[in-house]
Amino acid sequence: MRGIRQEVMLKEMQADPKVNIQYAAKYAYSQNGYKRAIGANWGIEVRDLAGAKRQQMESLLQEANAKDKAIYEQALQQIRSAIHERASLRRRQWYLNEGLATSLEFITLISVMNSSNQEGLKDFFKDYNAEVDKKVSKAVLTEYVKQIKEDERPAELNKLLADFGSVDALVDMLFTSRMMKQESAAQLAKGTLTMNQADSTLLRFVKMLAEEGYALRQALSKYDNPIELARRTYVGGLLKYKGTENLWPDANSTLRFTYGQVQGYKPRDGVSYDFRTTLEGVMQKADSTSWEFAVP
């Protein structure tokens, strides 16, 4: 889904210098996350991290005494069951968040309007192009409808699609809303302009996404505690039988200090990365066929 959004944005940026200026930072921010995910998946596969975790699990079960082994097996089964049961919900949440909630810029517009922040509206429209947002919306919503079965989509979305006949027709109608223009958006936010059908339908669409996101979070939350308790039991087993030598705490959302000797990196056989970056090395990446690496 991220790739679909990036492709549409890039095409529009390359076609119009003004759009390029407006969307350069947005594209780069999104692209960094996209490339990081690709790199992380590559690293997981190349270094067979899944295999390493399986080996760790099997080793613990082999070393544990009979009583502890039964406890750890039960914990692992609890984790497997919870992950299996929530898989469909997680998939729906991923497509909703990645495909729609973070891709449709007009969702941010509604949020700014609800805050009655006139300066915020100016800032939003400074780097906003409704035609780009419309094209992105059509592309990602089409993919969402393709990937998520009708009975798993928000009922309100199915009704809107039935009312307008297609994704393109629905999006076209949404973008006739006067909220897409700064002056009328400001008037609607102040309440000095009465909403018409297109304005109301846009709000209805955004509300639907928010409600679906909340419903999915609530449905998924019941799995958090069982997984965490089972994980605690499993990690307790690793500490008991393996010690702390090769275990590190989860450092997310914590202040971290890194120290040690800076060295190179060998990701695979025959490939070595030095810890230095040189201008010569940077220029070796020049590629006239790629806009990202073309040197003027």
Q: Is the pLDDT of residue 245 over 70?
A: no
34 vs 7, higher pLDDT: 7
Q: Rounded distance, CA 84 to CA 88, Å?
A: 8
pLDDT of residue 140: 95
User: Global pTM?
Assistant: 0.82
Q: Is the pLDDT of residue 46 over 80?
A: yes
pLDDT of residue 246: 66
Q: Is the pLDDT of residue 173 over 80?
A: yes
pLDDT band at 258 (very low <50, low <70, confident <90, very high): confident
Q: Is the pLDDT of residue 254 over 90?
A: no
**What one-character-per-residue DSSP string does 103-161 give?**
T-HHHHHHHHHHTT-HHHHHHHHHT--HHHHHHHHHHHHHHHHHHS-GGGS-HHHHHHH
Q: Is the pLDDT of residue 225 over 90?
A: yes
Residue 109's alpha-carbon distances to 106, 113, 136, 269, in angstroms, are 5, 6, 15, 49
Q: Is the pLDDT of residue 39 over 70?
A: yes
Q: Is the pLDDT of residue 244 over 80?
A: no
Q: Is 273 helix (H, G, I), strand (E, B) or coil?
A: strand
Q: Is the pLDDT of residue 292 over 70?
A: yes
